[in-house]
């Protein structure tokens, strides 16, 4: 009886010792050993121009199942969506073997894509949705500059604090061609997907947990890729604009005005004064903006917020000359939104006067639509105060990829947040 009771305990103890030994062994793996263990699960993804027959662009990817499923970035394969029939995708294995790839689904908000290699079984990597401890050693795989399979050592430095789109800060050199490759821990679990770099070993990863969401509904054929992307963009703008308009906008002070300021933790703000000695007018600018956007193509991105304020005044110009200068400046504004007539309509604008007693404004609202994603628009709202003889505050709001309802609601909130407050 005593022997029977000790057997399970000895078994559990043995399992525990084996687990400890395995963990210790994993900690001792060199970069060389990690590369040898996991390189077979990483591929180069090539986008081939059908007419020329050669690669147009390239990135990286990795297997997530033994059924030939490969994850990469959306921006690596965007030409397959934007120019169907003009491009095709293929994989290149670590041993040089190549084959065709089919695009199954995408997540444009998190810059992910899911591709399929038929009749191909390879080692695959596990997805780890839990984030490691800050400072933990990580290893990025990919094909930088088409130089062949490469491994980069780096460290996990947490999630970016000022980011509308969740990103991991990875201290390591992710170079062009590594986009879409995996960054793994010492056990070969994917912590993030390589996505971008700012240089000087400041790089960014998409948290691997979003890969799990990418796989959900991948086989749903009820909608086209453009319809799926449109739904993702609509849900994304709804998420952050609902959050911003759920309460009064946070304001800052510029001269005798209250203005919309740092609206959220992912909003960056900066200001600058004109210090030139020969100036006829004095000006102070105050800008708040998101640093990230959603990539759609080389010519077009979306999902960004920018608010620019400029307080302009003069002691040297007459009232007539001052307002002639302000009107000329106000009418000459152009925003670099990108896109072309192939995928965007022209801006259509309307002007109105707003009188709030102590504050009179001229407001110009402009919209242009996304041809491939009906119901989404870029919005510009320009407003200028008219209640002071030699002083004016201009405010410019720029939103990309928003619905009319959400865009107008936020534009109204920005308009209402500007107040004269002597």
User: 277 or 148, which is more confident?
Assistant: 148
* CATH 3.40.50.720 matches 24-222: no
CATH number for the domain formed by residue range(s) 230-420:
3.40.1000
Q: Please tell me which residue, 26 or 2, carries the higher pLDDT value.
A: 26
Residue pLDDT, tens place only, 123-174: 999 999 999 999 999 999 999 999 999 999 999 999 998 888 999 999 999 9
The DSSP letter of residue 186 is: T
Per-residue pLDDT tens for 279-289?
889 999 999 99
What mean pLDDT is predicted for residues 79-90?
94
Give the model confidence (pLDDT) of 356-377 as tens digits.
Answer: 888 999 999 999 999 999 999 9
CA dist 41 and 44 (Å) reads 10
CB atoms within 10 A of CB 116: 17
pLDDT at 163: 85
Q: How far apart are CA 43 and CA 92, in angstroms?
A: 6
pTM of the complete model: 0.88
Ramachandran bin of 164, using left for φ above 0, alpha for ψ from -120 to 50, beta for the remaining angles: alpha
Distance of CA 366 to the CA centre of its chain: 24
User: Distance from first CA to last CA of the chain, Å, rounded?
Assistant: 89
Show me where the domains of the chain are located.
24-222, 230-420
Give 218's pLDDT tier (boundaries 50, 70, 90). confident
Mean pLDDT (whole number) for 53-75: 95
């Amino acid at each position: 009886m005593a022997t029977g009771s000790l057997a399970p305990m000895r078994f559990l103890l043995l399992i525990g010792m084996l687990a400890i030994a395995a963990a210790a062994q994993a900690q001792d793996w060199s970069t060389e050993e990690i590369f040898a263990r996991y390189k077979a699960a990483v591929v180069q993804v090539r986008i081939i121009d059908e007419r020329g027959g050669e690669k147009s662009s390239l990135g990286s990817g990795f297997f997530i199942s033994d059924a030939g499923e490969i994850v990469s970035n959306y921006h690596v394969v965007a030409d397959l969506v934007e120019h169907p029939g003009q491009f095709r995708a293929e994989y290149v294995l670590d041993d040089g073997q190549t084959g065709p790839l089919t695009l199954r689904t995408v997540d444009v908000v998190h810059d992910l894509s899911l591709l399929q290699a038929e009749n191909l079984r390879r080692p695959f990597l596990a997805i780890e949705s839990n984030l490691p401890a800050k400072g933990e050693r990580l290893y990025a795989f990919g094909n930088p500059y088409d130089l062949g399979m490469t491994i980069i050592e780096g460290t996990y430095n947490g999630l970016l604090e000022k980011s509308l789109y969740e990103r991991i800060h990875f201290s390591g050199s992710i170079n062009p061609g590594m986009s879409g490759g995996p960054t793994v821990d010492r056990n070969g679990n994917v912590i993030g997907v390589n996505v971008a770099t700012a240089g000087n070993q400041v790089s960014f990863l998409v948290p691997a947990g979003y890969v799990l969401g990418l796989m959900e509904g991948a086989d749903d054929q009820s909608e086209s890729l453009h319809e799926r992307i449109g739904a993702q963009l609509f849900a994304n703008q709804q998420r952050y604009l609902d959050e911003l308009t759920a309460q009064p906008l946070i304001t800052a002070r510029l001269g005798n005005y209250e203005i919309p300021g740092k609206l959220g933790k992912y909003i960056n703000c900066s200001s600058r004064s004109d210090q030139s000695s020969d100036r006829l007018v004095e000006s102070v600018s105050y800008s708040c903006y998101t640093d990230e956007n959603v990539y759609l193509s080389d010519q077009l991105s979306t999902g960004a917020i920018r608010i620019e304020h400029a307080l302009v005044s003069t002691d040297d110009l007459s009232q007539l000359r001052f307002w002639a200068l302000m009107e000329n400046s106000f009418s000459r504004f152009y925003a670099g939104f990108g896109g072309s007539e192939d995928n965007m309509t022209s801006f259509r604008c309307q002007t109105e006067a707003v009188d709030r007693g102590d504050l009179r404004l001229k407001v110009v609202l402009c919209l242009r639509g996304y041809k491939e994603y009906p119901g989404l628009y870029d919005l510009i709202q320009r407003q200028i105060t008219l209640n002071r003889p030699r002083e004016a505050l201009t405010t410019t709001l720029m939103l990309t990829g928003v619905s009319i309802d959400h865009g107008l609601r936020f534009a109204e909130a920005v308009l209402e947040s500007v107040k004269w407050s002597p």
